[in-house]
Structure 1
Amino acid sequence: MADDIKDIAHAVEAASVMGLFPSPPRMLALGEPTHGVDAPLRLRNALFRRLVEQEGYRTITIESDCVAGLLVDHHVTTGAGTLDEVMEQGFSHGLGASAANRELVRWMRAFNEGRPAPDRLRFAGFDGPLEMAHAASPRESLLSLHRLLADHVDTGLLPCTAERLDRLLGADDRWTDPAAMLDPSVSFGRSAEAGELRLLADDLGALLDAWTPHLITVASREAFERTLLYARAATGLLHYHFWMADTSPHRLSRLVGLRDQMMAGNLLALAERGPVLVHAHNSHLQRDPSSMRMGGRRLEWWSAGALVNARLGEEYAFLATAFGTMRHQGVDVPPPGTLEGALYTLPADACLLGASELAGALGATAPERRASPYFGYAPLDPAHLDRIDGIVFMKDVPED
């Protein structure tokens, strides 16, 4: 079996990735099994460069705040702001501290220098404006959405003034109180003001849709797409805050599901640019339902990848990443009966394998699912193999 697996292992290059598919996918999703290490991000960077040079890719999107990501995109396309400012303000989840993410932004800006706008690389975050402990205020998204409409549509059609939105929004800290994540009674999401804001956001989004033919002629395409993002973010945040105030047993399941719905909406919008490289945790990109334990309950929801795959079909591709060892977190050599154990026999530091070919090489006996001593690392589930297009295997992942 080891020889059979060796025969189907390839270098992680653009050509070998494209060779897995009958035609190039519009959206190529590259997962990772953990956060907080730069090795898979450096591999992602190298692959993106090859996809740019050889396959015409011009957009990369990562699991970071979609609204904050606009700052990164503006920097890489125009040079606005400093690299330090962009890394500090343009990422969520601590991703701005990553040396690999910093190198990605630096390289994208250098690549774009002097290039015409249609040929420039674009950056996007596709996560909602969320952190583990809180959700952002919808202020920036709602007011930005209102601003474009007020600039280009008869003000008599607007459902409210910007001043009315500002009064309803109030202080941002009543939206972002981290205590609301564990205590629904602290959430502002079901207040009278939040309820009115949900209706107004819906009306503003409907007006944006209704006036699309006019708006794409009077505003730049980039400004219009940015406003669509603000509309998605505002609506998504208000839904999220509403369910943060829920007291039912399904509260947390609803919240994690809403997050992936926001992700999916952003990914589908980016797919219209195509082709796009997506990078996030495997669990957000897989075609199967996601699950986790939180608050003493098992939560299950449809991942962003499953939602996008339902819309894009064969134009969505998913490469899952698996690790052999991550010794600084106590993840040692995988047992031989596991999927990672079989892959660990390969000599290369990193390689790519087609999932269907790997299933054939493994034979009729399905490998066991590996157990991880580190809660932050999620081994691949062999039962998902037939719904994965390829596996990127990294043999030994060092501490960065």
Structure 2
Amino acid sequence: MTYARLIESHSLAPMDPLDDLEPLLDLVGDARVVAIGESSHHVREFYLLRHRLLRLLVERLGFTVYALEAPFTDAHTVDAWVRGGPGTVEQVASAGIDHGMGDCREMHDLLRWMREHERPLRFAGCLAGTPRTALRAVAAYMKDADPDAHLLADRAFRLAGGEREVPTMKAMLDHARRPIEAQDELTVAISRLLARMETMAGYQRGQGRAAEHTAAFQHLRNAWYLDHGGRDLNGRGLAVGTACLDAFGAESVLRLVEDGARVVVATHNTHIRKTVIEHEGDFGLFPQGYHLAQALGPDYVSIAATSLGGRTSAGRVAPEHPLGFEAVDVELPELAPGSVETLFDGRAPLAVADLRGLDPEAFTRIRMLDYFMDVPVVRAYDAVACVPETRSVEVC
């Protein structure tokens, strides 16, 4: 039998006392980045779990940034609100968090807590959002900073969809159905813009626009990564799944670390794993967590999140749906042999298993949506957080 140190909490409520979770601080140590996963999006208990662990990391270890699986450019709207900006939490969460993941009370409560916290906190998106949104920010920068290139930036923005407000998944599906010549035209325009911004970096620094240029360049790399990621996912690139999107996610987090932040990353279990994805047909190849582990070593801690049973939200690609996919409420299957979930007995509202020191081959599966994914769990994650049951979140 395999034994792991279990840290059990009496509550899943975000604002309940945190003392029983203090043993987790030893696991985190001086890490600069802690990733907290989930086996599926749109699950109520995973929102609560992340809020509770975020509180622990902020209040006991001084973490400063919450980086969600949200579009990089659009998430700036949420960050501005967290820092005291205008609007309502419902408005900014809907505008700045894609795939409907911001449209629930649990996310609103987390954002309100961040805004009201006595020490300033930041919100960031670590997902490549639509090229249209990112290129709009680039064109706005170039209008004054680089007028000669502004027409090219504006053309790229128009090629990416212009002013149409389209969610990321829907935009990628729509783009895949466009003629190949139109897809190539956008790719060429983005590539030319990248070369232009690289060339102009020294000049813009000399003009006192270094910060603005760096910010615009980040938006442009968002568009570049997503454009190539779309090609990969649509069968016109390399067979690497979401590798481009994961690379951008890691890059955006590492920039925050370079600026002195300690970052809590909140994204899917698949993205936060520290190992390459070896099984044909699985997403990612090189997950975000793999890049972070390679760059940060022990300064990156990965905590997967799962459950023993209940129901979950399984996303299904739906090209005609306004979001490009639909979330379907389904029942979770029984525990599978070799799954890490068999470590837990379900008596505590929240339990975290410290996997350090276990046999690397001890567990070979973990929940993924409404099935079990093959993964070398002990090598992929430092810990696994588990709740007894889950259910799909109620959309506001």
**TM-score of the pair, normalised by structure 2:** 0.77
Label 1:307 to 1:347 Cα distance change in 2 as closer, same or farther (>3 A): same
1:18 matches 2:25: yes
* Equivalent of residue 370 in structure 2, options 372, 377, 382: 377
Q: String of CA shifts for 1:54-76, please: whole Å, max 9, x gaps.
A: 21111001111111111100111
Cα separation, 1, equivalents of 2:70 and 2:244 = 15
Q: In structure 2, do the counterparts of structure 1 residues 214 and 49 end up closer, same or farther at CA, with 3 Å as the change threshold? A: farther
In 2 relative to 1, CA 245–323 (structure 1 residues): closer, same or farther, beyond 3 Å? closer
* TM-aligned CA deviation for residue 79 of structure 1: 2.4
- Aligned twin of 2:190: 198
Per the alignment, residue 76 of structure 2 pairs with 70
1:298 Cα deviation after fit: 5.7
What is the aligned partner in structure 1 of residue 251 from structure 2?
265
Q: In the TM superposition, what are the counterparts of 1:45-56 in structure 2 within 5 Å?
A: 45-56=51-62
Partner of 1:322 in structure 2?
306
1:277-316 alignment runs, 5 A limit: 277-290=264-277, 301-316=285-300
Q: CA deviation at 1:320?
A: 1.3
- The letter of the residue matching 1:127 is L
Gaps of 5+ in 2: 10-17, 313-329
User: 2:109 maps to which residue?
Assistant: 103
Tell me the distance in 2 between the aligned counterparts of 1:68 and 1:232: 14
Name the Cα RMSD after superposition: 3.7
Mapping of residues 140-155 of structure 1, within 5 Å: 140-152=133-145, 155=147
Matched, 1:88 2:81: no
**Which of these two proteins has the greater Rg computed from alpha carbons?**
1
1:388 alignment partner in structure 2: 381
* Deviation, structure 1 residue 318: 0.6
Cα shift at 1:149: 4.4
In structure 2, C-alpha distance between the alignment counterparts of 1:207 and 1:199, rounded to whole Å: 12
User: Cα gap change, 1:398/1:166 in structure 2, threshold over 3 Å: closer, same or farther?
Assistant: closer
Residues of 2 paired with 1:162 and 1:140: CA distance? 12
- How much identity, in percent, do the aligned residues show? 22
Q: What are structure 1's unaligned runs of at least 5 residues?
A: 113-118, 130-135
Amino acid at match of 2:228: H
* Other-structure match for 2:315: none
- After superposition, residues 163-182 of structure 1 pair within 5 angstroms as 165=156, 171=162, 181=173
3-state DSSP class of the match of 1:74? Answer: helix
Matched residue of 2:43: which SS? Answer: coil
Amino acid aligned to 1:27: V
Tell me the CA shift for residue 104 of structure 1: 1.0
Structure 2 CA distance for partners of 1:171 and 1:189, relative to 1, 3 Å: farther
- Which residue of the partner structure matches residue 335 of structure 2? 334
Counterparts of 2:161 and 2:373, CA distance in 1: 45
What secondary structure sits across from 1:326 in the alignment?
strand
Matched residue count: 365
Structure 1 range deviating more: 327-336 or 59-68? 327-336
Distance 1:147 1:173, change over 3 A: closer
- Alignment CA distance shift 1:92-1:348 (3 Å): same
Q: Distance in 2 between matches of 1:365 and 1:167?
A: 50
Superposed CA deviations along residues 117-153 of structure 1, whole A, max 9, x for unmatched, are: xx51100111111xxxxxx3x3432242243345346
Q: Which whole-Å CA distance do the structure 2 matches of 1:17 and 1:304 have between them?
A: 23
Q: Partners of 1:172 and 1:124 in 2: how far apart? A: 23
Whose helix fraction is larger, Structure 1's or Structure 2's? 1
Maintained 8 Å contact 2:156/2:186: no
What amino acid is the match of 1:265? Answer: E
Offset from partner CA, 1:241-287 (integer Å, 9 cap, x none): 5557755xx65x34522222222222222222420000111000101
Query: Residues 28 and 378 from structure 1, CA distance in 2 versus in 1: closer, same or farther, beyond 3 angstroms?
Result: farther
Matches of 2:83 and 2:165 in 1, distance apart?
Answer: 35
Whether 2:7 is the aligned partner of 1:9: answer yes
CA distance in 2, matches of 1:202, 1:151: 17
Larger mean CA deviation between 265-274 and 309-318 belongs to: 265-274
Point out the more displaced range, 235-244 or 86-95: 235-244
Q: Secondary structure at the match of 1:48?
A: helix
| Matched-pair contact (CA < 8 Å) for 1:187–1:245 | no
Once the 2 structures are TM-superposed, how far is the Cα of residue 173 of structure 1 from its aligned partner? 6.2
Change (3 A) 1:46 1:208: farther
- Cα 1:259–1:187 change in 2 (3 A) is farther
8 Å contact 2:303–2:381 — kept in the other structure? Answer: yes
